[in-house]
Amino acid sequence: MFFSLLPFFFGYHLDRRQRRRHAGAQGDNDNGGGSHVGGTVFTLIGLLLGFTLSAAATGFQQRQVLIAQEANAIGTAYLRLDLLPKPDQAPLRSLFREYLQARLDTYKVPVGSPAEHTAYLRSLKLQAALWQQGTTAALTTNNAAIISLTASALNATFDITTTRLVAARTHPPLILFILLFGVALMAALLAGYGMASSPRISWLQTILFAAALSITLFTIMDMEYPRLGFVRVDLADRVLMDGLQGMRH
């Protein structure tokens, strides 16, 4: 909140100083265009905040949906192991448990970290093993339906990993955040500038303005990085953890 109060008070004292300097010469009417400029900036910051907050909320919801889709894909592929020959089922079930644990480990650590990369590479190796053993077992049945069902289930399980990775690493361009914070600073400065016409600062309005601006910006950043802040997507991982527990029983 401090970052928005600082330009606010700067704008307030700047206008007060200008008013004292021009007192009696121009009066208080030489600021006529200021309200139009302020209105334009406030409209712009409102649009930027609304657009960015909506995009962050959509991205947050999309990540939750992708986790559910991965849980469904893994669950379907795991159940279809029943179609394969009995001797091949146990090794594949063990591989699936390892794979699901690797997927959970991938997102327990910050996105882009070395630990995430290591866990992701491990899941890719397990994908290769699952595909090789799964398709080999399906081919031994000489049943086209079983081969198709097994291959499609494994494909769906593997494809969602790339989709989730891209979603986790996709954020608005840096220039948008720079623009957002820059316009927010200008809005705070103009808000303080406009309040200088009052004999005293309205602390309630000042604090509410700074709090609303800061909380909105914080919420946007929190939802853009949902594994680091207060708004977390980790709760959605519960469906994967429940799936792993089910595989172990």
Instruction: Yes or no: say if 191 and 209 are a contact pair by the CB < 8 Å rule.
Output: yes
> What is the identity of the amino acid at 149?
L
> What is the identity of the amino acid at 60?
F
DSSP codes of every residue in 116-181? HHHHHHHHHHHHHHHHHHHHHHHHTTT-HHHHHHHHHHHHHHHHHHHHHHHHHH----HHHHHHHH
Say how far apart CA 191 and CA 204 lie, in whole Å.
13
Q: For residue 249, what is the DSSP state? A: -
**pTM for this structure?**
0.80
Is residue 91 over pLDDT 80? yes
DSSP codes of every residue in 173-230? -HHHHHHHHHHHHHHHHHHHHHHTTSSS--HHHHHHHHHHHHHHHHHHHHHHSTTTSS
Is residue 26 over pLDDT 70? no
Per residue in 41-83, pLDDT (tens digit) is 888 999 999 999 999 999 999 999 999 999 999 999 999 999 9
pLDDT grade for 34, boundaries at 50, 70 and 90: low
- The average pLDDT across 163-187 equals 90
Say how far apart CA 225 and CA 220 lie, in whole Å.
9
pLDDT of residue 111: 77
pLDDT of residue 24: 52
